[in-house]
Amino acid sequence: MEKLLSAEILVPIIVNTILAITTIFYLFETRSTRKAIVNQFRMSQRQHFIATAPFLYFGSIKKIEGTLDFAVKLTNASDKLARDVSCIIYDNQKKTFCYPNTTKVVIKPSASSTLEINENPRTAAEVKKRLCEFYEINEEVFSHLINESKKSYALIFYTDLEGAVYSVKSGFSWNEDDTIIRGRSKFKKLSDPQPL
């Protein structure tokens, strides 16, 4: 028993125990440090996103008298320029999409613009093809946004000065007096700027 309690046996056990505890503490500490670094990186990405991204929303959607066309008022609530603005309306009753003829619309910071959208019915495939060609993005990016759903919705696509593509999707329904009731808007960055 005295041999088990001798210094030659106890000292290495104590040293190894302290070393094991220190190693475990170090692993937990570096793990929490790595998590903090990742969170800080994500926060800086969000801050860059907020600093560079324009934010558009639907001011109103009205039917133009005497036609089946729509007048869509888009407002840029940010202090950033929104370029290449395009708007798509999905009508859940007709199960069709429609979009304007012009796509080179620019909306200045803190300003509004009205787009006239033709009531020429389009399919989801036609809309995706047009967007892929115009914004130079593959079709999978648009597949979750452009779909036939139970509710009507409006989509805005635009780019910032760096060339990143953004979308805003907002559901809506029509009142009896041809005004809209807007749903929640979902803002999303679809792609990063294209390299030159």
Q: What is the extent of the structural domain holding 112?
A: 54-191
Identify whether 196 is part of a domain. no
**Per residue, what are the HEC states of the chain?**
CCCCCCHHHHHHHHHHHHHHHHHHHHHHHHHHHHHHHHHHHHHHHHHHHHHHCCCEEEEEEEECCCCCCEEEEEEECCCCCEEEEEEEEEECCCCEEECCCCCCEEECCCCEEEEEECCCCECHHHHHHHHHHHHCCCHHHHHCCCCCCCCEEEEEEEECCCCCEEEEEEEEEECCCCCEEEEEEEEEEEECCCCC
User: Both 134 and 158 in a single domain?
Assistant: yes
Note the pTM of the prediction, 2 decimals.
0.69
pLDDT at 135: 80
Model confidence over 90-105: pLDDT tens digits? 888 788 888 887 667 8
User: Both 106 and 166 in a single domain?
Assistant: yes
Model confidence over 9-33: pLDDT tens digits? 888 889 999 999 999 999 888 988 8
pLDDT at 164: 86
How many domains, in total, are found in the chain?
2
